[in-house]
């Protein structure tokens, strides 16, 4: 682990998990079952469950880590091996931009979710947005063996995909405050969002 990765782990990882758990806890509907797709080590899901004991959370990931904060099942990254309408919500936290074709998993989410799809991801908007996102992705994920296709959509592409899938945007937040000052001036901007999409 190099110096930049150490700084990232000490200053960003814990802060990000706590702040994201706050935002996500606010947008998930009450008393719902949630499939957390690409949950990583499950820390965010555990923090959400601590804030929202009314939720049932199940985690799945392509890479099951040796240590995780919740039970994590393995999946192939393409198909969700659950029946139609198996969960109230399907949640993606910084997952879809790691897909070569994000629509594959989004269609699966629409099939499996009864009510809502919760997404935290990036929007490739603004000056040097794509370059900034690549730097963040490489620092945070490369050493964990995560696929890095750098497939960042613009806000327009996200909205187009949701429209195509018949999803209605109920909530969208872009001021997440994930990074401490002064890093927030570079790495927050309008590059992150949390959205709740409800089935029509």
Residues 102, 103, 106, 107, CA torsion sign: negative
What is the spatial distance between Cα 46 and Cα 177, in angstroms, rounded to a whole number?
Answer: 20
Flag whether the pTM goes above 0.85: yes
**pLDDT tens readout for residues 120-169:** 999 999 888 888 888 878 777 666 667 778 899 999 999 999 999 999 99
Count of all residues that appear for the chain in the document: 200
CATH of the domain at 173: 3.40.50.150
* Residue among 132, 119, 129, 117 at smallest CA distance from 166: 117
Q: Residue 149's domain spans which residues? A: 3-199
Q: How many domains, the chain?
A: 1
- What is the structure's pLDDT at 75? 96
What is the spatial distance between Cα 127 and Cα 187, in angstroms, rounded to a whole number?
Answer: 12
**pLDDT tens readout for residues 80-119:** 999 999 999 999 999 999 999 999 999 999 999 999 999 9
**Rounded mean pLDDT of the chain?**
89
**pLDDT tens readout for residues 61-77:** 998 989 999 989 999 99
Beta pairing, strands 192-199 & 167-173: antiparallel
Cα within 13 Å of Cα(190), Cβ side: 9
């Amino acid at each position: 682990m190099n110096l930049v990765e150490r700084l990232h782990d000490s200053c960003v990882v814990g802060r990000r998990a706590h702040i994201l758990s706050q935002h996500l806890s606010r947008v998930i509907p009450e008393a719902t079952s949630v499939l957390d797709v690409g949950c990583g080590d499950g820390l965010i899901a555990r923090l959400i469950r601590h804030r929202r004991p009314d939720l049932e959370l199940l985690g799945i990931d392509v890479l099951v880590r040796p240590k995780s904060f919740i039970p994590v099942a393995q999946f192939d990254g393409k198909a969700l091996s659950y029946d139609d309408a198996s969960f109230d919500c399907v949640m993606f936290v910084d997952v879809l931009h790691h897909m070569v074709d994000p629509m594959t998993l989004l269609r699966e989410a629409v099939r499996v979710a009864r009510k809502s799809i919760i997404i935290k991801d990036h929007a490739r908007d603004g000056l040097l947005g794509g370059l900034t996102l690549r730097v963040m992705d490489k620092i945070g994920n490369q050493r964990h063996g995560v696929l890095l296709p750098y497939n960042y959509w613009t806000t327009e592409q996200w909205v187009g995909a949701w429209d195509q899938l018949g999803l209605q945007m109920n909530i969208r937040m872009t001021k997440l405050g994930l990074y401490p000052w002064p890093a927030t001036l570079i790495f927050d901007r309008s590059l992150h969002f949390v959205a709740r999409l409800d089935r029509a």
